[in-house]
Amino acid sequence: MPSTSALVAQTATEKNALPSADITVIGTLTSPKGDIALLRTRNGRIHRVQRGDTVSGHTVAVITEGQVHLVQRNIAKVYAIP
């Protein structure tokens, strides 16, 4: 597979396009077979998660269209696609 040239990579990369929060929702998929979400952690790693999974100390409680409900130390927080 050909590699991406430096010029193309520089042009296609937007600096600071995503917030630098601990967790950012990249996308969600809801279906009768189960809901999944893609979450980006501060270190840039992308996690594919479903209900009950844990990421960065947060447990996935609910995934809805465009949102992920996470719980950490009995405190719930809703994260949405930016």
pLDDT digits (tens, 9 = 90+) for 24-76: 999 999 999 999 999 999 888 999 999 999 999 999 999 999 999 999 999 99
Pick the CATH number of 18-80 from 2.30.30.830, 3.40.50.300, 3.20.20.70, 3.40.109.10: 2.30.30.830
- What is the structure's pLDDT at 44? 87
Residue with tokens 């840039």: 44
- What is the structure's pLDDT at 20? 55
Please state the domain extents for the chain.
18-80
With beta carbons less than 8 A apart as the criterion, state whether 11 and 20 touch.
no
pTM: 0.75
Calculate the alpha carbon distances from 44 to 50, 61, 64 in Å: 19, 22, 23
Is pLDDT at 14 greater than 60 in this prediction?
no
Helix extents (H) in the chain: 6-12
- What is the structure's pLDDT at 82? 87
Q: Model confidence at 10, in pLDDT bands (50, 70, 90)?
A: low
- CA gap 17, 29 in Å, rounded: 22
